[in-house]
Amino acid sequence: MARALTLFDLDHTLLDGDSDVLWCEFLMDRGVLERTLFEPRNRRMQREYGAGSASAQEFCEFYVSTLAGRSHTEWEPLRRDYFAQAIQPRIGAKALELVARHRNRGDTMVLTTATNRFLTELTAGHLGIGHLIATECEVGSDQRFTGCIAGTLNMREGKVTRLHEWLSTQDSVLQDFDTTLYSDSINDLPLLEVVQHPIGVDPDPRLAQEAARRGWPVLSLRIAP
């Protein structure tokens, strides 16, 4: 019997919210980002990305740019506060139970997210997911974040590329596993198409339509209001 490999998207899947959006709100609340300057830029980026005039790379790099100029060590106190205040309360019991069920089965579990590694490491640890594939941030010779993305963006087709790269570090290939993916987003369609068990979680309208067309199961992990 093939080993079980279970992949989880993070934002709007296991997390009831978006890590990057919550990070920016946290920084504005703390005065690290000037709200009157940043909010218009954020709205413009959202519009341009929605209209297709900004690429996925530009969209994700916009959020990574908030880290620029400080090192991992310098950001660490704020990162821990951010996780405790903005992230942990948005991970509901249903999400924890789902992850625990796969852990108890002995699955190899991977959190795969377009959000950068720095913002998602603590979340993966809290969930008890041992492997994290995330967008990587470039670090300069001074050990400070440059605000740029390093390597392949872990989004859309990039999630498939990055998964294959990670598997190669484990001396494995995808065909060695019985594979499952939980995701909310049509952006993950390329990855959903290569796993054996694609599952929609509170899917966006386009993914809900695709799941219905293909007969993929759908579930909800949302936190009750």
Residue 53: per-residue pLDDT: 84
H/E stretch holding 126 reads helix 117-127
Q: pTM of the full predicted structure? A: 0.95
Scanning 129-225, the segments in alpha helix (DSSP H) are 157-169, 189-192, 205-214
Spans in the chain with pLDDT lower than 70: 1, 225
Q: Is 81 annotated in the active site?
A: no
Q: Architecture of 3-219 per CATH?
A: 3-Layer(aba) Sandwich (3.40)
Q: Is 176 annotated in the active site?
A: no
Residue 223: per-residue pLDDT: 83
Percent of the chain at pLDDT exceeding 90: 90
Q: What is the pLDDT of residues 2-56, one digit of tens each?
A: 899 999 999 999 999 999 999 999 999 999 999 999 999 988 988 888 777 888 8
What are the φ/ψ torsions at residue 36 (nearest 5 degrees)? Answer: -65, -25
The full set of domain ranges for the chain reads 3-219
Residue 90: per-residue pLDDT: 97
